[in-house]
Amino acid sequence: MLRACLISFVIILSGLLTCAAQCPSNKYQWDLSVSYGYTTNGISYTDAAQDGNKTISQYPQPAFFTVRYFLYNRLAIGAGAGITSEQGKYYDPTHLSSQAGTYAASSTTMAVELYYVYHFWKFVEVYTFAGAGPSFISVSSTYTSPGLGFPSETTRNTIMKGQYTPVGIRLGGRLGGFAELGYGYKGIINAGISYKLGPTCWWKDDFR
């Protein structure tokens, strides 16, 4: 995942060299967004005692707040912070039909992102972005099978997470809605609303 993010950063930066000269000068704008995602992957953590014998009953649905700043018309840097949670059950590895305990996991992720707009139409943006940052994870476990010998516990861990979104679409002017397809800390599907700040409504122009 992190390797794919690094490759994406290199591709986007190389595209900037040609884009900066030919795109209209519509930089120095802010974009604020809130989003909600869906994923079929659980929260990744490395020190849970029963990580290999768990089933997820409530999958994570990440919620994020993201701020982006356009350095150029098509290129922006950003920072995002989000939270998500997960619940599930542990099973006895010697008797997989027997429940051994329950757990609740939560994570807070903070990431930096690089954002590139493929193309502008009036009130439409098609874009991609990649990001990476630390995720602070807490897992509270309660074991109901005394034969396992594991006490009830709360573990904490910090891991690096990445996000690569090959395509996203934003519709609207100063206030708009967006939907994204990708993989990583924001989920497979991510959607929300964004608000653009700036002295001019440059996103309403006809970009060619």
Instruction: Kindly calculate the radius of gyration of the chain based on its CA atoms and give it in whole angstroms.
Output: 21
Q: How far apart are CA 86 and CA 104, in angstroms?
A: 6
pLDDT band at residue 149 using 50, 70 and 90 as cut-offs:
low
3-state secondary structure of 88: strand
What are 152's two structure tokens?
């009830």
Q: Is pLDDT at 9 greater than 50 in this prediction?
A: no
pTM of the prediction? 0.73
Mean pLDDT, residues 40-50 taken together: 58
Domain limits for position 151: 2-204
User: Is residue 159 classed exposed, middle or buried when 0-12, 13-18 and 19+ CB atoms within 10 A define those classes?
Assistant: middle
What confidence score (pLDDT) does residue 40 get? 72
Read off the pLDDT of residues 88-142 as tens digits, 9 standing for 90 and up.
777 766 665 666 777 888 899 999 999 999 988 878 999 999 999 999 998 887 7
Going by C-beta distance under 8 Å and a sequence separation of 6 or more, which residues neighbour residue 63?
34, 35, 36, 37, 82, 83, 84
Q: How far apart are CA 106 and CA 3, in angstroms?
A: 25
**What phi-psi label fits residue 97: left (phi over 0), alpha (psi between -120 and 50 degrees) or beta?**
alpha
Beta strands in the chain (DSSP E): 30-38, 54-58, 63-70, 75-92, 95-121, 124-143, 153-172, 175-184, 189-197
State how many domains the chain has: 1
- Residue 162 CB-half CA count within 13 A: 14
**What phi-psi label fits residue 184: left (phi over 0), alpha (psi between -120 and 50 degrees) or beta?**
left
CATH of the domain at 52: 2.40.160.20
Q: Is pLDDT at 82 greater than 90 in this prediction?
A: yes
Q: Which residues on neighbouring strands pair with residue 114, listed in sequence order?
A: 77, 130
Read off the pLDDT of residues 132-146 as tens digits, 9 standing for 90 and up.
999 999 888 777 765
